Structure 1
Amino acid sequence: MRAQASEPIGLSAAFWQRTDVLAALSARDIGHLFRLVRQYGGMSQTRIGIAVNLSQGKVSAIMNSSAQVTTLDVFERIADGFAMPDPARLTLGLAPRAASTAIPSRDTSRPPADPPRIAPPTVNLVHSGEDEDTMRRRDFVGLTGAALFSAVLQPTAPATPADSLEDIAAALVEHPIPTNRPIDLTALARTVAQAKSSYQACRYAEVTAILPTLLRTVRAVCLTTTADARHRAHALSAEAHHVAASILLKQDDKGLAWLAADRSTQAAHTSENPLMIGSSARIITRALMDGRHHRAAITTATTAAQRMDTDLRHPTENDLSIYGSLLLSGAVAAAQTGSRHTATELLDEATQAAHRLRHDANHMWTAFGPGNVLCHRVNIALTMGDAGTAIDYARQVHIDALPIKERKATLLLDTARAFLTWNKHDQALYVLRAAGGIAPEEITARPATLRLVRDLLATAPITVRREAREYAESLGALA
């Protein structure tokens, strides 16, 4: 009997184990996934659309990269429509099917996958040109209800315990022990992808919990594998250590962050994968900047970008994303040195790469695209002491088009800093609350963000001081 069009698409187990399919799932590149389903499953756009509850026009737009999938419910519909097996769901960043139907546990270490959204009021605030008093009256009234509870009343305990960082430190410095157990690089790749996805979703406690074991595993595997598998193992090690360095930078742990970044770079070069080498240059650049070695950071980022520009005559989306992200890293470093000309030049080159990419995506875990370039313009304008220009750039960002929560939260924190520099304390407080609604651990688990909250309270005028103090106390920022 002929299958009904509304039934889930049944794809073979071999399809979900293909390297190109796993890459599409890891990058959450649904357009690429749809193209692979059509290529290997023989499914038309109409059939795909029926299975995942999207119109044929929407499927076509996603396949040609003029639209993208960013919301959890659509990812879930796609996974269900394709009858995606649990390993594929995990690679896509979703809970396994069995877990999604079980009674939720009381584990609170991981925030809800789709917390109450308060981003739209923030976007309205940043985009609007209304009188400041009018916005204050309207927006703070709006924050007294459900949004206040979702954005302000976050847990006061730090989300990243010190002992977790000690475990990461131990995993970084221990001599790796070769393993005699069978090595499943595909399963290891899924775990690495889960760590990267959780980091980008700002689930930092979850990442720190899995990193010690993951780091020990990838280092042991690199000692054991041979031939082509060795290159793949080192690429996974580069990515795992990249995540570790990113978490450590969030925690202001410069020494360990540098060690993890260096391990990422060494593993990337051993993998002989140009994209891994370029990606590792990004995390080394960030570590150099965090240590105030800004000129070395500029050199590292721009040299890696120039190498890619020279070697890649027909760049893929992955190439453009790594290349553009390196330029953005160099621009931030240049701004830190006060070199406005160099920062602007690198930003303009990154803009050209973003225009070639045409949309914001998350290829190679970069979140690169036109919106990401604008986010960096916000940060660089703020660094150069021009808070008004930073806010003007922030008004141009379509926050819902940014593909990851970490980038959204970072944009809002930069915008809050700009408002604070501009002595708009009420707006700074409002945007901080909104950032917490999107990514709670970006507020509660980062020393730098808690310092921003304390700075806001220390300089707040009497009209905002009470609200600022209540917010700071709710975060435990006064302890």
Structure 2
Amino acid sequence: MDTIQFGRRVAYWRTRRRLSQHSFAALMGKSVRWVQDLEGGHRQADPQLSIVQLAALRLGVSVDRLLHDPAVLCPSASEVEAVRAALHRHDVLTGWSGTCAEAAPVAAVRRALVHARDGFQAGHFAQLGAQLPALLVDATRAAGHYEGEERRQAFRLLSLTLELVEAAAVKWGDSELAVTAGQRAVAAAERSEDPVIMASAARHLADALTHHGQPQAAVEFATAAAGRLQADLLQCGADGLSVLGMLWLKASMAQAAAAEADDRQPAALARAVPDLLDQADEHAARLGTDDNRLWTAFGPTNVALYRVAAHVQLREGEQALAVAADIPDAALAGLPRERRAHLLTDRAHAETQAGLRAEAVDTLLEAERLAPEEVACRPRTKALVEDLRLLGTGNAGAEGRLRALAARCGLPR
């Protein structure tokens, strides 16, 4: 059981029933702290079935709904708006918070960031809506309060926090929010004076620009950053190689998006995509292994995942499936859950492009089991589910599984 999502559902239905945590604790025969831990996903073990059944009874919902209801997998509109509002706060925007504002220790900001970034890579995107506003404020205050190396460290953390806002916004389908956060991340990275952080922020902004319909600008920004920073990054060990490789991967996806959207010379633009991927492959070979420096998951396996994604972007489903088939299972198992689920959704897109629609349904179900939010919440994946409903699968069993999946995604009947 995903304890974080179960906790979100308990909190959602407790609020719907207008029960305070104190009242719900009394109904459950537990302490308020127990309820807080349960709703925050901080329980050390999965709740016993008897606890799940009692919670469902007290909340007036079925056990199945409490365990699987898709409506509360995704961040609420108010949570997304809270992140946007935090970006627009005067103190966050200007870095000025007054002389009386307390700044969190840099180490505490780092711990909170690591927790949030690790949650993202585990496939938990919805919880970021609640985590990011406070993290943005704390990181900004730290950057404005400390001096010397501590200030540079704080700006590194602020840039990485803004990168996380960009990544979450892409998952939520809010490309405007992603671009805003990506631009801020680049500005904070410059203040950090750290080429690794500068390159990391640049790859996130390139990603945001691509999703915002500006792929050519994304290509130019990513390649310019790679050219400017490469000499320094090659002196920074595994961290430098990882972010440099990711810059070329983001450039390749932007180039593929530019080719797919172009009406004049799409083939010429598409021919540049393999060259960009090869640049990333060179750095992955130099790194020599799959790694997760700065949450990049960069290495030979992730480069292969991007080759699949680029083929999908170019509507080359059969080629994408061929690349995916050659990725060793053992190598995939070492990647973060978000990366593995993303590959599965890309594979489902490729199968749909290749006319293998029943197989695409089963691949989406595999992705859902691995990371439910990648399927139930992400607009890109929900659009694929809707396309499959319209196209049909030609398989009665797959149709039934598709209808159930569409319901869990909250799609209208």
- What range describes the TM-score normalised by the shorter chain of this pair? 0.7 to 0.9
Q: Offset of 1:408 from its aligned partner?
A: 0.6
- The code of the aligned residue for 2:125 comes to Y
Answering whether residue 297 of structure 2 is matched by residue 367 of structure 1, we say yes
Matches within 5 A, 1:425-436: 425-436=357-368
- SS of residue paired to 1:205: coil
Q: Which residue of 1 aligns with 2:75?
A: 160
Are the equivalent residues in 2 in contact too, given 1:372–1:402 (CA < 8 A)? Answer: no
Matches within 5 A, 1:397-476: 397-399=327-329, 400-463=332-395, 464-476=398-410
* CA distance, structure 2, for counterparts of residue 183 and residue 371 of structure 1: 38
* CA distance, structure 1, for counterparts of residue 104 and residue 149 of structure 2: 13
Q: Offset of 1:470 from its aligned partner?
A: 2.2
Are the equivalent residues in 2 in contact too, given 1:265–1:280 (CA < 8 A)? Answer: yes
Are the equivalent residues in 2 in contact too, given 1:355–1:370 (CA < 8 A)? Answer: yes
Are the equivalent residues in 2 in contact too, given 1:110–1:203 (CA < 8 A)? Answer: no
Task: Report sequence identity in percent.
Answer: 29
Q: Which residue of 1 aligns with 2:25?
A: none
* CA distance, structure 2, for counterparts of residue 419 and residue 109 of structure 1: 37
| Larger RCO: 1 or 2 (CA < 8 Å, sep 6+) | 1
Q: 1:273 to 1:114 in 2, by over 3 A?
A: farther
Match of 2:169 among 236, 248, 261: 248
Q: Which residue of 1 aligns with 2:181?
A: 260
Q: 1:227 to 1:217 in 2, by over 3 A?
A: same
Q: Where do 5+ consecutive residues of structure 2 fail to align? A: 1-32, 47-62, 92-96, 260-268
Are the equivalent residues in 2 in contact too, given 1:360–1:401 (CA < 8 A)? Answer: no
Answering whether residue 266 of structure 2 is matched by residue 351 of structure 1, we say no
Q: Offset of 1:170 from its aligned partner?
A: 1.0
Q: 1:182 to 1:250 in 2, by over 3 A?
A: closer
Q: Offset of 1:406 from its aligned partner?
A: 1.1
* CA distance, structure 2, for counterparts of residue 295 and residue 224 of structure 1: 38
Answering whether residue 89 of structure 2 is matched by residue 174 of structure 1, we say yes
Are the equivalent residues in 2 in contact too, given 1:295–1:333 (CA < 8 A)? Answer: yes
Match of 1:292 among 209, 213, 234: 213
Q: Offset of 1:105 from its aligned partner?
A: 6.9
Q: Offset of 1:267 from its aligned partner?
A: 0.5
Q: Offset of 1:107 from its aligned partner?
A: 3.6
Are the equivalent residues in 2 in contact too, given 1:402–1:408 (CA < 8 A)? Answer: no
Q: 1:376 to 1:212 in 2, by over 3 A?
A: same
Q: 1:188 to 1:312 in 2, by over 3 A?
A: closer
- The code of the aligned residue for 1:349 comes to Q
Q: Where do 5+ consecutive residues of structure 1 fail to align? A: 1-101, 116-148
Question: Which deviations, in whole Å up to 9, do the C-alpha atoms of 1:427-446 show, x marking residues without a partner?
Answer: 10111001111111111221
Q: Offset of 1:375 from its aligned partner?
A: 0.4
Are the equivalent residues in 1 in contact too, given 2:143–2:155 (CA < 8 A)? Answer: yes
Question: Which deviations, in whole Å up to 9, do the C-alpha atoms of 1:164-210 show, x marking residues without a partner?
Answer: 11111110001112454254111111111111111111111222211
- The code of the aligned residue for 1:156 comes to P
- The code of the aligned residue for 1:457 comes to R
Q: Offset of 1:108 from its aligned partner?
A: 5.6
Q: Offset of 1:270 from its aligned partner?
A: 0.8
- The code of the aligned residue for 2:224 comes to T
Matches within 5 A, 1:367-386: 367-386=297-316
Q: Offset of 1:246 from its aligned partner?
A: 1.0
Question: Which deviations, in whole Å up to 9, do the C-alpha atoms of 1:298-335 show, x marking residues without a partner?
Answer: 11111112223233454401111001100000011111
Runs of 4+ that moved beyond 6 A: 102-106, 111-115
* CA distance, structure 2, for counterparts of residue 426 and residue 106 of structure 1: 40
Q: Which residue of 2 aligns with 1:274?
A: 195
Q: Compute the RMSD of aligned alpha carbons.
A: 2.4
* CA distance, structure 2, for counterparts of residue 325 and residue 462 of structure 1: 39
- The code of the aligned residue for 1:465 comes to E
Number of residue-to-residue matches in the alignment: 343
Are the equivalent residues in 2 in contact too, given 1:109–1:205 (CA < 8 A)? Answer: no
Q: Which residue of 2 aligns with 1:122?
A: none
Q: 1:306 to 1:402 in 2, by over 3 A?
A: farther
Matches within 5 A, 1:87-126: 107=38, 110=41
Match of 1:337 among 258, 279, 284: 258
- The code of the aligned residue for 2:136 comes to L
* CA distance, structure 1, for counterparts of residue 45 and residue 219 of structure 2: 37
Are the equivalent residues in 2 in contact too, given 1:110–1:205 (CA < 8 A)? Answer: no
When the two structures are superposed, what TM-score results if normalisation uses the length of structure 2? Answer: 0.78
Q: Which residue of 2 aligns with 1:85?
A: none
When the two structures are superposed, what TM-score results if normalisation uses the length of structure 1? Answer: 0.67
* CA distance, structure 2, for counterparts of residue 268 and residue 218 of structure 1: 13
Once the two structures are overlaid, the 10-residue window that deviates more, 310-319 or 356-365, is: 310-319
Q: Offset of 1:281 from its aligned partner?
A: 0.2
* CA distance, structure 2, for counterparts of residue 114 and residue 308 of structure 1: 45
* CA distance, structure 2, for counterparts of residue 277 and residue 318 of structure 1: 12
* CA distance, structure 1, for counterparts of residue 289 and residue 229 of structure 2: 21
Once the two structures are overlaid, the 10-residue window that deviates more, 181-190 or 421-430, is: 181-190
- The code of the aligned residue for 2:84 comes to A
Q: Which has a greater percent of helix?
A: 2
Q: Offset of 1:474 from its aligned partner?
A: 2.9
Q: Offset of 1:349 from its aligned partner?
A: 1.4
Are the equivalent residues in 2 in contact too, given 1:375–1:394 (CA < 8 A)? Answer: yes
Are the equivalent residues in 1 in contact too, given 2:338–2:371 (CA < 8 A)? Answer: yes
Are the equivalent residues in 1 in contact too, given 2:241–2:283 (CA < 8 A)? Answer: yes
Q: Which residue of 2 aligns with 1:319?
A: 240
Answering whether residue 127 of structure 2 is matched by residue 206 of structure 1, we say yes
Once the two structures are overlaid, the 10-residue window that deviates more, 310-319 or 326-335, is: 310-319
Match of 2:155 among 234, 243, 247: 234
* CA distance, structure 2, for counterparts of residue 154 and residue 302 of structure 1: 43
